[in-house]
Amino acid sequence: MFSGQQHPVLDPEILEAIVESIPAWLGVLLVPTTYIGSVFVIVPLIILAYWWAPDRFGVWIPAFFAYYGLMASIKSLNSATRPDIDPAVGPELFPAIFSTWYGHATAISSTSFPSGNAMVPAVIIGLMIVDLRISTLPRRALVGGFAIAFVGFTRLGLGVHYPIDVVGGIALGLAVLGVVLCCRRHLENDVTAVFTLAIVLALASVWLRSGGTGVPTWEGIQGSNRVLAFGGAVGGLLAWQWGERSRWRFSTSRLGTVGSFAGVLAIVGLTYAIHLSITHPLVSMLWAGVVFGGVIVLPHVVLTRDDVLVPLGVTSA
């Protein structure tokens, strides 16, 4: 789609003017704020939300993977280069302990379009606007809309995206949000539908990366985005289907619940150890599937106080 050194639509001078107009105090604020659109914040957020209320927030996890798969697919279609512009602030303004975080926020090598950090807040913050019960819907929309826009602005201020990347990312994120809400409104099992969509989008990324013809190639599965999106979505869908069919009753006894809980943790820990030991796309895919399968199952086998004490012959007061 896009190739070469010159980014389409916008001239670099426009981004340079934006970066140069940012005062130092605002530039310092941009670095931590940009992480609102990072997997380091989004993934723990959606996991904790799901664990807090699986019925209310169950669709958040597949919605994230739908974003991930779509982003990987679009990035597979283009080779738009990143801006060659320095961020509004340098690393010298931050403590040495934050040097790695600064580097991750400002030194990125993936293709420029779309901005993932702008795209995913449009999906997840959009779901927060709809699903949370804090204040009123108009106020949530106002605050959430500002947050989405400001996270997008951080990508400009740090010089890592052109405006078209940010605007396009937000638009694509809102499109994903619209599909998720449409599934929720018209389908009986919206979580299954969105997980399926995520798998299709991740497979599309592999297929496009393979040249768009024939059987997907080895090159097609290279790259963490498409591998993690596909593995996580498949693992999550299988766990969700298993839970739905068993009505989330994995054991009828307290001792069985203890065993189920320990088993989930053991399997996740084992696959993580393998993932650290073997650097291979298929291993990463397996790890993502097991982890998010465990994430889906875990709140339904979590231990209560009685689950721990009764098998030991201790009666809680």
Please confirm whether the linkage preceding 114 is cis (ω < 30° from 0).
Answer: yes
Contact 137, 83 (CB under 8 A): no
Pick from 208-212, 238-242, 282-286: least confident: 208-212
Pick from 56-70, 180-194, 203-217, 275-289: least confident: 203-217
Distance CA 311, CA 251 (A): 14
Q: Largest Cα–Cα distance in the chain?
A: 73
Residue 265: per-residue pLDDT: 62
Task: Name the DSSP class of 212.
Answer: S
Residue 271: per-residue pLDDT: 61
229 found inside a domain: no
User: How many structural domains is the chain composed of?
Assistant: 1
Could you report the per-residue pLDDT of 99-136, keeping only the tens digit for each?
A: 777 777 777 767 778 888 899 999 999 999 999 988 89
Residue 124: per-residue pLDDT: 96
- Domain with 95, as residue range(s), is 12-213
235 found inside a domain: no
Residue 100: per-residue pLDDT: 75
> Is 259 a residue whose pLDDT tops 70?
no
80: which 2 tokens?
Answer: 């738009």
218 found inside a domain: no
Distance CA 202, CA 227 (A): 8
Stronger pLDDT, 267 or 194, i.e. the higher one = 194
244 found inside a domain: no
195 found inside a domain: yes
219 found inside a domain: no
268 found inside a domain: no
Could you report the per-residue pLDDT of 137-196, keeping only the tens digit for each?
A: 999 999 999 999 999 999 888 888 888 889 999 999 999 999 999 999 999 889 999 999
> Is 255 a residue whose pLDDT tops 50?
no
List, in sequence order, the alpha helices (H) in the chain: 12-20, 24-33, 39-52, 54-57, 60-77, 99-106, 116-131, 137-157, 163-186, 190-209, 224-245, 254-277, 281-297, 305-309
- What percentage of the chain reaches a pLDDT higher than 90? 25
Helix 190-209, helix 163-186: angle, nearest 10:
140
Could you tell me which residues come within 8 angstroms of residue 251 by beta carbon, excluding any fewer than 6 positions away? Answer: 257, 259, 260, 301
226 found inside a domain: no
How far is the CA of 125 from the CAs of 26, 42, 68, 116, 166, in angstroms? 22, 10, 15, 14, 16
User: Residue holding tokens 């086998």?
Assistant: 301
